[in-house]
């Protein structure tokens, strides 16, 4: 049996500028004590039931890239990235960079998104129907996998598109980094997991 640690908060003492030192120490402790996984939230504000929305909160992929440079064995992941927060072709490139820095230790966690207040604050359109967000997520995963594995990627989807896009270098992990898909819908989300994912983070309605 393997164990991991998820970091849901960036509060490490009274000084918010110590946030990275705090999470770095936590990840290194986990690695040195036999844990095999360390994940961080990928939100822009704290979510309900975890903390207050105005508490200090770091950007997940920025932190993940820094942790990749200061750890050596533990697997690193976002738990999870909302499909809306970054263009998926760009996310494919960000993730490939983290995989390279970590020498193949990245797991991409991605989901359909649910925190409508965060969407509103940062100017993203929030599709009210979960089915729409799940379709966006599925399309994004297809595009990301194509960017990771094709020499150049032309993709014409309903929500996203690329034209002869280059992503070099490809991720270090071969044939590609694992993808963990988050959600709880049996009819749509789990079908996407079965077809495109390597793992699933199951929770309530997206």
Q: What is the pLDDT of residues 45-93, one digit of tens each?
A: 999 989 999 999 999 999 999 999 999 999 999 999 999 999 999 999 9
pLDDT-derived band of residue 201, with 50, 70 and 90 as boundaries? confident
Domains of the chain: 4-202 (3.20.20.30)
pLDDT of residue 123: 96
Lowest-pLDDT range, 66-70, 99-103, 151-155, 189-193? 189-193
Q: Among all chains, which residue has been given the structure tokens 């749509």?
A: 188
Which structure tokens are listed for 109?
Answer: 């966690």
Q: Residue 59 carries which DSSP code?
A: -
pLDDT of residue 191: 77
How far from chain centre, in Å, is Cα 26? 19
> What is the mean predicted confidence (pLDDT) over 100-127?
96
Backbone angles phi and psi of 65, in degrees to 5: -65, -35
pLDDT of residue 142: 97
User: Are 144 and 162 spatial neighbours (Cβ–Cβ below 8 Å)?
Assistant: no
Question: 3-class DSSP state for residue 4?
Answer: strand
Question: 3-class DSSP state for residue 143?
Answer: helix
């Amino acid at each position: 049996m393997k164990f991991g640690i998820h970091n849901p908060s960036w509060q490490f003492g009274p000084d918010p500028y110590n946030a990275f030192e705090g999470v770095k120490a936590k990840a290194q402790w986990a690695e040195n004590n036999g844990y095999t996984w360390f994940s961080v939230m990928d939100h822009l504000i704290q979510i309900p039931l975890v903390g207050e929305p105005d508490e200090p909160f770091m950007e997940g992929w920025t932190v993940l890239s820094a942790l990749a440079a200061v750890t050596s064995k533990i697997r690193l992941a976002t738990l999870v990235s909302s499909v809306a927060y970054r263009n998926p072709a760009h996310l494919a490139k960000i993730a490939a960079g983290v995989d390279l820095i970590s020498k193949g230790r990245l797991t991409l966690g991605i989901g359909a998104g649910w925190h409508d207040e965060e969407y509103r604050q940062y100017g993203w359109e929030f599709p009210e129907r979960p089915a729409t967000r799940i379709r966006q997520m599925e399309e994004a995963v297809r595009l990301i996998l194509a960017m990771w594995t094709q020499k150049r990627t032309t993709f014409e989807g309903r929500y996203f598109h690329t034209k002869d896009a280059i992503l070099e270098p490809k991720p270090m992990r071969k044939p590609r980094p694992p993808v963990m898909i988050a959600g709880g819908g049996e009819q749509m989300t789990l079908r996407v997991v079965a077809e495109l994912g390597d793992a699933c983070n199951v929770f309530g309605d997206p």
